[in-house]
Amino acid sequence: MTRTIWLNGAFVAEQDAKISIFDRGLLFADAVYEGFGVLNGQISDFQHHMARLQRSLAELQMTMPYRVEELHSILLQLLERNQQQECFLYLHITRGEHDRDYLYPEGLTANMFAFTQPLHGGFAAAPAVPLTMASTEDLRWARRDIKTSNLLGQVLAKQHAREQQADEALMVDQQGYVTEAGAMSFFIIKNQQIYARQLNRELLPGVTRKTMLRVAAELDLEVVERHYTLAEVYAADEAFATGASSYIQPVIQVDGKTIADGKMGPITSHLREAYLQAIQSASKA
């Protein structure tokens, strides 16, 4: 079956979904995006994703082309056309098209598209897929809090992980502190406490992270927000990563060093179960 893409207000076959080579997203990564998890045909944490998207657009002085309610309806139609109940949903907005110039004129018309694709981290009902990681230098640009399509740093990090025969990268800043995974937020657990790096311009404010931390608070799990090192990761009792289409995944090995007993820990398991219940309940509300 041919996949349907939503592009600039129309549903089209994927082979017909094309934009200009002069699009600023292509030439300068002058674009923002959101990646959503879809569960039971509903978009998880949609309002949180929209809040982050609107913030990213505002930081780049771009305007949201659609009302949030209208966009929600469009994306649900896209899921229905592609007969998707559980998948990854991608939405991309560029500043628009113009001859190559660092400075852009006012009044450009944004290009906007969305598509679905299979999950990377396994289905919610299936056992959690454990991850191995390889650490690497965090080479991303300074405004990591804006979710732009400037992802070359992550591409290099993930390629390094592949070369180390690991599933995912774990990025480390110049001071030796862990920031996050290549495409996920990262956490460790030590002495019953969840360690999370504080949000600032050096970190993407993960939507799954946000909901996970709320669920952790509801479970009376203690969260410590501070910097931590690779040595602390190696010595952790548990480690896990969060992402919109991968939910909560246990991390069982970093740089060839096994985390604890090399299995998903009890807190991670409990948190994953509670998180999945929370987002499924929210989607039914």
- pLDDT tens digit sequence for 81-135: 999 999 999 999 999 999 999 999 999 999 999 999 998 778 898 999 999 999 9
C-alpha–C-alpha distance, residues 211 and 283, integer Å: 13
Q: How many residues does the chain have?
A: 285
C-alpha–C-alpha distance, residues 10 and 187, integer Å: 40
198 near 178, Cβ under 8 Å?
no
Q: Minimal CA–CA distance to 111: which of 6, 2, 15?
A: 6
Q: Minimal CA–CA distance to 55: which of 155, 193, 205, 229?
A: 205
Residue 226 carries which DSSP code? -
Strands 247-254 and 111-117: unpaired
CA atoms within 13 A on the CB side of 12: 14
229 near 197, Cβ under 8 Å?
no
> 270: burial class by Cβ within 10 Å (0-12, 13-18, 19+)?
middle
Which residues participate in catalysis according to the annotation? 147
31 near 39, Cβ under 8 Å?
no
Q: Minimal CA–CA distance to 236: which of 264, 275, 202, 215?
A: 264
pTM here? 0.94
Q: Determine the pLDDT at residue 273.
A: 96
C-alpha–C-alpha distance, residues 258 and 251, integer Å: 9
What's the pLDDT tens digit per position in 56-88?
A: 999 999 999 999 999 999 999 999 999 999 999
C-alpha–C-alpha distance, residues 259 and 111, integer Å: 44
Strands 168-172 and 111-117: unpaired
Signed CA dihedral, 75, 78, 84, 90: sign only: negative
Report CA 247 to chain centroid distance, whole Å.
10
Beta strands in 8-60 (DSSP E): 10-13, 31-39, 42-43
What domains are defined for the chain? 4-117 (3.30.470.10), 131-284 (3.20.10.10)
Measured between its terminal Cα atoms, the distance across the chain in Å is 32
62-71 contacts: CB < 8 A, separation 24 or more? 62/32, 62/93, 62/95, 62/110, 63/110, 64/93, 65/93, 65/110, 65/112, 66/112
How many C-beta neighbours within 10 Å does residue 239 have? 27
180 near 197, Cβ under 8 Å?
yes
* Tens-binned pLDDT, residue by residue, of the chain (285 aa): 689 999 999 999 999 999 999 999 999 999 999 999 999 999 999 999 999 999 999 999 999 999 999 999 999 999 999 999 999 999 999 999 999 999 999 999 999 999 999 987 788 989 999 999 999 999 999 999 999 999 999 999 999 999 999 999 999 999 999 999 999 999 999 999 999 999 999 899 999 999 999 999 999 999 999 999 999 999 999 999 999 989 999 999 999 999 999 999 999 999 999 999 999 887 665
Residue 230 corresponds to which tokens in the numbers above?
């690779």
